[in-house]
A and B are shown apart, each in its own frame.
Chain A
């Protein structure tokens, strides 16, 4: 039973526009949320995170939004660049420090 879900397996966006990747979770004990970027045949690399005490965290072109009541978070990339094309994983952890990942969304940014 997946505790973290990414319901969109793929997303295609034009260069310069906004990319919005979504993630839902079911476990109310999660209190830390992360986004990772992954290229084929490589390990995921950490992008940005947010604690449950916040509803927004921004780092350059990347912003993560958290809606605890809806158990939903999203990653916004503005402006999107072709180099952003990769698979993006949402992850969540709690006081047990195990990380649970979604199934990923493949982002394609078209030049």
Chain B
């Protein structure tokens, strides 16, 4: 069964410092990975995705993520954190619809990022 793990419930970082939010996955076949962000009282918003190609993926709001196949990880990063980055972040994997014909998604449990001024 496919799974996604976000090992940290909360990450605290000082404004201006680099941030990393961790995600590891377990899938059969090629992984299709996503990061979403959730602000209070709102739905999730897409940040970036890895389907194939370069291991470093750039996304919205200055975020990027590094795909590491050997470590089965897809960590979210940003070189310089802003207070406005404080939110709940979710990693997700989509089942390969070409092989299984599904639209199934597995989400991690979320990591709350707190950027301190």
Specify whether A and B are partners: no
Interface of A toward B, CB cutoff 8 Å: none
